Structure 1
Amino acid sequence: MNNQAVESEMSSYVGKLLRDHFGKGPSSVYVTLKGSMFSIHLREFLAPMERVLLKQERGSKVEESRDILMEEILPEMKAMIRIQCGVPVQEIFYDWSLENRSGIIIGTVDVQQKDTVYEDYDHRKAIHEEIATISRIAERQPDRIDSFYMNDRTLVIIRSGILVRIEQELIKEGYVEQLKLTKRKLEKGLLHQRDFKQWLGQPIEDIYVDWDFDSDRSYIVFVTTKK
């Protein structure tokens, strides 16, 4: 299958999988395959019970329950994307924008190349400098920052080497969920405070953040509004 056919197949499968496990699926599932990664942008994804919890300002409970469900279905998602769509998935990461009823799923693909060459784009250096500043405030200067556009609206930023000693110890002690929820709130708050529109050229619709604690990597995803 060509990329467009694979993206369509993945969109259909992921939408059904989420609907089967969450009781309500997203209204739209937009998939992009590019190089060694794929992104899946979900729109209008909020179950009735989650809506009630948000009204009660219990968004952390929604995130916790979603994390439990996602950890349960991720092995199935990886296996079925490989079997049905022919995409050899290595890892999958995700985050939500509950206020916008949206979400992102990004994954790494097993490709026969050791180093990915990222295409350059306007204001890349300035964006990296701003990400480095935010990282220093939240934890420490990343050892490395990479970024690339998945499509004309989705910018993926990968930070490597950002965990500080106290975070590493919390992970060893099993406080992964608490650490992730705390870091998400802190970093997304800092990211929203900065004016990335001046470099991205469009207003930001959503910001997502997730971590691969085992490999000490972080994924930040900006989704801008349509041009």
Structure 2
Amino acid sequence: MEFAEKTAQMSKFISKLLQENFGKGPESVHVSFSHPYVVVYIRNFMSATERVLMKTKNEDTVQKTRDAVMESLTSNITTTIHDLFDTDIFEFYFDWNLHNKTGVFVAVTQQLDHSFAIQSSFEGKNRLLEEIDLISQSVQKSPAIQECYQLNERTFVNVREGLLIPIEKELIRLGHEELLVLTKRNLEKKYLHSNSHFERILKRKIMDVFVDWNFELDKSIIVIITTPPQPTQIIRQAQ
């Protein structure tokens, strides 16, 4: 099966899965695959019930419900990625931007096919790392390890490890992971969404920013979705 056909099948599967479990499917599902990351970007996705809850300021209820549903869907999604792309899945992350009606899934796979290897060097990378480090310091602390990658002309992935501070570790030990996720999500996304430097650093408009955590691994994934670069930028990068 050709790679484009695999990504098309993955998009169709995700769209159908969301429709069956939420009562409404997304307008579009775009799959990007650069080893070791599979990034699924979902647009215009919100059920009628969720729209009512959002209008009545019940965003946390929508978020908690989606988190609960995703717990039951994660295994199905990772199994399908494994079957289509013939690779093991080591980690899985997801996040929603409810006001934009968008979402993202990120699967971390075993790196096998180097023909789809990720781009680890891109214009503005060091400045982007510095900016995200400043945000990390404002919310918790600087990560012990941090790296940024460009999957394609519109998708950037930031990976941070070693973020948890002692009080967060204690909350996890006491079984308050859900509270910690909601708190970190609200706080960190305020900084990420209001950041005025990302567009200047990447030289393109920011469409969406997503973030999720794996507390067991003390690891976080940030996904930045942008508009395509201007033609002059493409020419400059090719030179």
Instruction: Tell me if both proteins adopt one fold, taking TM over 0.5 as the criterion.
Output: yes
TM (normalized to structure 2)?
Answer: 0.89
Query: Can you give the 5+ residue segments of structure 2 that lack an aligned partner in the other structure?
Result: 230-239
Q: 1:5-16 to 2 correspondence within 5 Å?
A: 5-16=5-16
Q: Tell me the SS of whatever aligns to 1:130.
A: helix
Q: Which amino acid aligns with 1:188?
A: K
1:168 aligned partner: 169
1:186 aligned partner: 187
Is 2:75 the partner of 1:81? no
Contact 1:9/1:85 (CA < 8 Å) preserved in 2? Answer: no
CA deviation map 1:18-38 (0-9, x unaligned): 111111111100001111111
Change (3 A) 1:101 1:126: same
TM (normalized to structure 1)?
Answer: 0.94
Change (3 A) 1:117 1:17: closer
Count residues with an aligned counterpart. 225
Q: Which amino acid aligns with 1:216?
A: D
Q: 1:88-103 to 2 correspondence within 5 Å?
A: 88-103=88-103
Query: Can you give the 5+ residue segments of structure 1 that lack an aligned partner in the other structure?
Result: none
Contact 2:119/2:151 (CA < 8 Å) preserved in 1? Answer: no
1:147 aligned partner: 148
1:215 aligned partner: 217
1:53 aligned partner: 53
CA deviation map 1:91-122 (0-9, x unaligned): 21100011110000111112359xx8752111
CA–CA distance in structure 1, aligned partners of residues 18 and 141 of structure 2: 35
Q: Which amino acid aligns with 2:189?
A: K
Q: Which amino acid aligns with 1:106?
A: V
Q: Tell me the SS of whatever aligns to 1:126.
A: helix
Contact 1:37/1:107 (CA < 8 Å) preserved in 2? Answer: yes
Identical positions, percent: 34
1:205 aligned partner: 207
Moved over 4 A (4+): none
Offset at residue 145 of structure 1 (A): 0.9
Change (3 A) 1:117 1:87: closer
